[in-house]
Amino acid sequence: MASRTGVFSTSVGTKILIGLTGFLLFLYLLIHIAGNLIVFAGADAFNLYAHTLESKTFLLRPIELALLAVFVIHIYKTVRMFLANQEARPVKYAMKKGAGAPSRKSFASTTMIVSGLWLLVFLLIHVRAFHDGWGQEYPLANGGRDLYRQELETLSNPFLAVFYMLSMVVVGSHLWHGVSSSVQSLGFDHPVWTPRVLTAGKTIAVLIAGAFIVIAIWAYFTGARS
């Protein structure tokens, strides 16, 4: 058992674990944005969706705990690998340059640790704002919470709306490199399909970030008028 878990302590094992947890978080974001887009269908549809999720507590809680575990492992392993790389190269380069066409090095790849830490702060604020509404909740007569109203009121705050949109840009940047990094770490390498998968991953990263930004803009102006 120790030898199996020890595999993930090696450099290769760490990269595989980061890639796997990153890919799982990517799948979660796909599901999350699909649910959030229901907000455009109106208050009744969105609250029904939210209430359906919250009513399945016996499933929701284990999923939330599993998601938290995946997120913590992803952050922990990424920071550990970053620190190990820094220790292995104590003298920094005088100037960072692009690695050329074959390389996947980019602004997104060189700022992964920064964008990841930003998203950690964002997640804490996001959960506080949308999970319990900073302590303010609006119960519905037929059960559940009016999360539609809660979302509009939260994002009608210009500071929160701007922070939210900036964070979604960071999400897009993180996913832009993160998807390709996960694919590489998990060993998927095909002369034809790999470039297509990488292109699809970057496209989906932009769409996810863009969709969240559109929701934030719409909620800001809708909430400000209500």
User: What does the domain layout of the chain look like in residue ranges?
Assistant: 10-88+108-225
- Helix then strand then coil, in percent of the chain rounded to 5, is 80, 0, 20
User: What are the pLDDT tens digits along the chain (226 aa)?
Assistant: 444 556 556 777 888 898 899 999 999 999 999 999 999 999 999 999 988 888 876 777 888 899 999 999 999 988 888 888 877 765 555 445 554 445 556 777 788 889 999 999 999 888 887 766 565 778 888 777 899 998 998 899 899 999 999 999 999 999 988 888 887 777 777 788 888 888 888 999 999 999 999 999 999 999 766 6
pLDDT score of 97: 52
**Which two tokens mark 35?**
């649910």
Cα 107–chain centre separation: 18
- Degrees (nearest 5) of the Cα angle 58, 59, 60? 100
- Distance (Å, rounded) from C-alpha 73 to C-alpha 26? 14
pLDDT score of 189: 77
Q: How many C-beta atoms lie closer than 10 Å to residue 97's C-beta?
A: 7
Return the CATH number of the domain spanning residue range 10-88+108-225.
1.20.1300.10
Q: Which residues pair with 139 in a beta bridge?
A: 145
Tracing tokens 């979302």 back to the chain, one arrives at: 151
DSSP symbols for 27-51: HHHHHHHHHHGGGGG-HHHHHHHHH
- Distance (Å, rounded) from C-alpha 53 to C-alpha 47? 10
pLDDT score of 174: 93
Are the C-beta atoms of residues 41 and 97 closer than 8 Å to each other?
no
- Distance (Å, rounded) from C-alpha 202 to C-alpha 134? 34
Looking at this protein, which amino acid is placed at residue 6? G
- Distance (Å, rounded) from C-alpha 152 to C-alpha 136? 13
- Degrees (nearest 5) of the Cα angle 182, 186, 192? 85
Print burial letters for 10-36: b (CB count within 10 Å at least 16), e (below 16): eeeebbbbbbbbbbbbbeebeeebeee
- Distance (Å, rounded) from C-alpha 215 to C-alpha 36? 8
Cα 59–chain centre separation: 21
